[in-house]
Structure 1
């Protein structure tokens, strides 16, 4: 993950209402193992953080100027350090206007991952840690709290450049720190929501359930494909990459690598070719299975509480909205 440019500034904003004070970094961070480790740790934490939004830039304007400054930098019209200074000054003004007390270290980093360029912009807090001196004395030091990132966005610069019609080249943390705080940072980036990650993930899983049912795979086959889907999707979450339907289709079936993709194309699910995976939704998509005395039951975890109810005391399951094929068989049997 080569780091091309990296700058850190600091905004000191206290909750007592005093004006924010901006401390500018003197220059870009020099190339070092510490800098590279910082960005690697940041990316791991960012990818693992649940609750992201996915979107694209508003048209450049006085209210949303960041994309224009970014275009100028990428075209060689300004240095990365100058771009970061202009941006962090704007961020500080927005922080004042919003009357929000969240200061922190403003991190700007342009890096490459494979053939793709990314820009990270984040506001990272400090926390205390205990370390040991050479004389074996304990000492309290401050460090950047990468375990609890609250405000951050990642822009896929390559996607933005090569596919300007895309609606998901920006990801940003939604988090739980409050709507106003989220909105002010998203306005600073100039991002608008383009793709509903949880909704798209739920639709994908619904399409997958329909596909499994149509293929009549049996209990073991259905469980195996479910595990394959979840494993692939969560690996994409860890990498910070979208789910690609063609790639997922190949992963699901080596012998018929286009089967799932063609199934989706033949139905009206409205899914994009690539989908930002939602970790929370995926973690709920597990399969319960059981077989005994001629009875075989298999269903996905997300159906529990809706189509399937479990009475723990009585040891019974109540099923709703039975598959049409099963209902027809039961009607014929009872006739």
Structure 2
């Protein structure tokens, strides 16, 4: 993971209305193993975070100047240090206006992963700990506490520059305690939500369920395809990459690699060729299936306890809100 540029500034700010004080670094950080390790750990923590959102820049303006500064840096009109200084001064200003915010070390890192360029921005905090020094004394020590990563964003620079129609080249942490905690950081980036990750994932899973039902697959085959989908989507989410529908289609059915992709297109589910996978939604997805003696039942695990109830003592399933097609067939038979 080549690191093109990296710098850290410090903003001292307490959540009591006191002014934010900026300590800006004047030069980039030199390449080192420590920086590479820190950025690798940061990426792992960021990818594992749930509750992220995906979006795009607002149009550049005095309210949202960040994208203009980033473009000027990428076009060579200013260097990385100047760009980061402009950005962190804007963040300092927004911090002062937000009584919910606290300061911290602000990391800017431009790096390459595979053929893609990224810019990561994160507000980092320290935790107190202890260490044993060279003379075997136990001494206080501070360390970066990535478990407290609550304000961070990652910009896919390559996607932004090469795909004018993309609405998901920025990802950012929305925060556990409601939107207001992260609103000022989102406004600092100048980002608006463009893609509903959980919603897109639910639509993908619905499309898959419809596909499995239309194919009338044996139970084992349906289970294997479900495992292929969840495994691939989860691995993409783990490394912070989107789910490619064509690639997924090939993994689901190697003999007919276009079958699932064609199903999505023909039924017009409204999915983009690539979607961000939501880990929480994926974790809730599992299919219960069974067939025998003329009966075939298949449903998703998240329906258990809501639309479907399992009465183990009486060996019964109670189904509420029947699918419209099934209900209509039963009504016609009754008539």
Specify the TM-score bucket, using the shorter chain as the normaliser.
over 0.9
Match of 2:164 in 1: 164
Change over 3 Å in CA distance of 1:52–1:93 after alignment to 2: same
Report deviation, 1:107. 0.5
Tell me the distance in 2 between the aligned counterparts of 1:182 and 1:315: 48
Mapped pair 1:185 → 2:203: no
Report deviation, 1:232. 0.3
Match of 1:128 in 2: 128
Structure 1 residues 86-109: Cα deviation after superposition (integer angstroms, max 9, x where no partner): 100110001112233311110100
Match of 2:116 in 1: 116
Gap runs ≥5 in structure 1: none
Tell me the distance in 2 between the aligned counterparts of 1:320 and 1:297: 14
Q: Scaled by the length of structure 2, what TM-score is found?
A: 0.93
Tell me the distance in 1 between the aligned counterparts of 2:331 and 2:92: 68
Report deviation, 1:5. 0.4
SS at match of 1:150: coil
Match of 1:56 in 2: 56
Quick check: 2:9–2:107 contact (8 Å CA) kept in 1?
Answer: yes
Gap runs ≥5 in structure 2: none
Moved more, 289-298 or 304-313: 289-298
Quick check: 2:122–2:153 contact (8 Å CA) kept in 1?
Answer: yes
Quick check: 1:286–1:301 contact (8 Å CA) kept in 2?
Answer: yes
Q: CA RMSD in A?
A: 2.2
Tell me the distance in 2 between the aligned counterparts of 1:294 and 1:258: 31
Tell me the distance in 1 between the aligned counterparts of 2:325 and 2:58: 48
Report deviation, 1:18. 1.7
SS at match of 2:120: strand
Report deviation, 1:300. 1.6
Report deviation, 1:139. 2.4
Tell me the distance in 2 between the aligned counterparts of 1:55 and 1:97: 24
Tell me the distance in 2 between the aligned counterparts of 1:296 and 1:135: 71
Quick check: 1:17–1:101 contact (8 Å CA) kept in 2?
Answer: no
Task: Report how many residues are paired.
Answer: 335
Report deviation, 1:129. 2.6
Q: What pairs up with 1:136-215 in 2 under 5 angstroms?
A: 136-215=136-215
Structure 1 residues 33-79: Cα deviation after superposition (integer angstroms, max 9, x where no partner): 00000000000000000011111000000000000000000000111
Tell me the distance in 1 between the aligned counterparts of 2:92 and 2:230: 41
Q: Scaled by the length of structure 1, what TM-score is found?
A: 0.93
Tell me the distance in 1 between the aligned counterparts of 2:272 and 2:50: 21
Moved more, 130-139 or 229-238: 130-139
Report deviation, 1:209. 0.2
Change over 3 Å in CA distance of 1:86–1:248 after alignment to 2: same
